């Protein structure tokens, strides 16, 4: 297995910028690809903000290390050039299967034969995309969480076609960049974390929407009963209420009722969570 030295990240949005920065911070050569100059200018801003965050929050980020991690990242809007020397490509483009298939199809022809491809998709299974890569044995999901420097899980999930040696190489890479690898033995929508979290959050919303208990009571029960530091409504405030709303509103009738409760009681009143200053709690 060729050593991973050069890493290319596709997409410089919320997650792509964080992944690229984290990989650069840990000493790898990183190329960040996005569609045009405007996106790349926004990326440069994101890297500078991340440098400031790391300086404030991450041990060992002082003495110019945080700034160097940002300035070392090569930015490119030329896809073929961006993947030409890549040992690993991590895809973090918008959550749209057709778009991801298109970009994997392109780099499948442009990247060297040894290059490993990984998708950071939260909701699409790697088997849905593997054919488009032209190299299903060298393809898997590598899923980061928002605020990678703090919530440092890296969920790693292959398909039936993923070469076990590729899986191991990506597990080792995740460790090297300061992540805690979470290995899935087979494909699962939601990986480990969201398989646990989403039902918990939905059950909490159902307790509130059904009038069984108010959010404070639900959270207090969860905290005391499990020793967890936060209850589900506190977590929902951090995530932002639009995210569960957008998922629930596309679900079955029960889910739609939960979405309607979130909308009428909170979202329509501008209570979107921590980011808006108020959600289930005031901040």
- Number of chain positions touching ligand NAD (CB under 6 A): 22
Catalytic residue, from 194, 242, 276, 278: name it.
194
Q: Calculate the dihedral angle through the C-alpha atoms of 261, 267, 273, 277, rounding to the nearest 10 degrees.
A: -140
Taking CB under 6 A as the rule, does residue 13 contact ligand NAD? yes
The alpha helices in the chain, defined as continuous H runs, are 14-25, 37-57, 65-71, 79-83, 97-110, 126-133, 164-176, 193-209, 215-226, 232-239, 242-248, 253-265
Judged by CB under 6 A, which stretch of 11-19, 51-59, 159-167, 229-237 contacts ligand NAD? 11-19
Taking CB under 6 A as the rule, does residue 158 contact ligand NAD? no
Could you tell me if 258 and 202 are in contact, meaning their C-beta atoms sit under 8 angstroms apart?
yes
Judged by CB under 6 A, which stretch of 33-41, 172-180, 203-211, 261-269 contacts ligand NAD? 33-41
Taking CB under 6 A as the rule, does residue 34 contact ligand NAD? yes
Taking CB under 6 A as the rule, does residue 103 contact ligand NAD? yes
Q: Considering beta carbons, is residue 179 or 207 the nearer one to ligand NAD? A: 179
Could you tell me if 149 and 58 are in contact, meaning their C-beta atoms sit under 8 angstroms apart?
yes
Q: What's the min distance (Å) between Cβ of 46 and ligand NAD?
A: 9
Q: Which residue's CB comes closest to ligand NAD?
A: 13
Taking CB under 6 A as the rule, does residue 122 contact ligand NAD? yes
Q: Calculate the dihedral angle through the C-alpha atoms of 230, 52, 45, 172, rounding to the nearest 10 degrees.
A: -70
Catalytic residue, from 120, 122, 132, 202: name it.
122
Q: Is 155 a catalytic residue?
A: yes
Q: Which of 55, 82, 80 is nearest to 67 (CA)?
A: 55
Q: Is 120 a catalytic residue?
A: no
From candidates 6, 22, 32, 120, binder to ligand NAD by CB under 6 A: 120
Q: Calculate the dihedral angle through the C-alpha atoms of 79, 81, 86, 89, rounding to the nearest 10 degrees.
A: -10
From candidates 4, 7, 8, 16, binder to ligand NAD by CB under 6 A: 16
d(Cα 188, Cα 118) in Å, to the nearest integer?
16
- For residue 75, the cross-strand partners are 32
Binding-site ranges for ligand NAD (CB under 6 A): 10-16, 34-35, 39, 92-95, 99, 103, 120-122, 143-144, 146
Catalytic annotation, residues: 122, 143, 155, 194
């Amino acid at each position: 297995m060729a050593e991973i030295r050069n890493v290319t990240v596709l997409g410089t949005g919320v997650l792509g910028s964080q992944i690229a920065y984290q990989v650069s911070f840990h000493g790898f050569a990183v190329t960040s690809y996005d569609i045009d100059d405007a996106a790349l200018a926004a990326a440069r801003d994101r890297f500078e903000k991340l440098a400031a965050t790391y300086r404030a929050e991450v041990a060992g980020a002082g003495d110019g290390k945080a700034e160097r991690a940002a300035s070392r990242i090569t930015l490119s809007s030329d896809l073929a050039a961006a993947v030409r020397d890549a040992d690993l490509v991590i895809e973090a483009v918008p959550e749209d299967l057709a778009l991801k298939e298109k970009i994997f199809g392109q780099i499948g022809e442009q990247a060297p034969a040894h290059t490993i491809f990984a998708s950071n998709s939260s909701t699409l299974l790697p088997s849905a995309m593997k054919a488009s890569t032209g190299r299903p044995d060298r393809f898997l999901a590598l899923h980061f969480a928002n605020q990678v420097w703090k919530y440092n899980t890296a969920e790693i999930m292959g398909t039936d076609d993923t070469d076990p040696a590729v899986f191991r190489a990506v597990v080792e890479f995740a460790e090297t960049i300061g992540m805690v690898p979470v290995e899935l033995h087979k494909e699962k929508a939601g990986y480990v974390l969201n398989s646990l979290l989403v039902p918990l959050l939905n059950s909490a919303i159902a307790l509130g929407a059904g009038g069984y208990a108010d959010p404070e009571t639900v959270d207090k029960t969860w905290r005391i009963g499990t020793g967890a530091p936060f209850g589900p409504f506190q977590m929902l405030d951090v995530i932002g209420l639009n995210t569960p709303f957008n998922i629930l509103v596309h679900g079955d009738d029960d889910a739609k009722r939960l979405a309607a409760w979130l909308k009428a009681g909170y979202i329509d009143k501008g209570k979107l969570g921590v980011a808006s200053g108020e959600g289930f709690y005031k901040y």
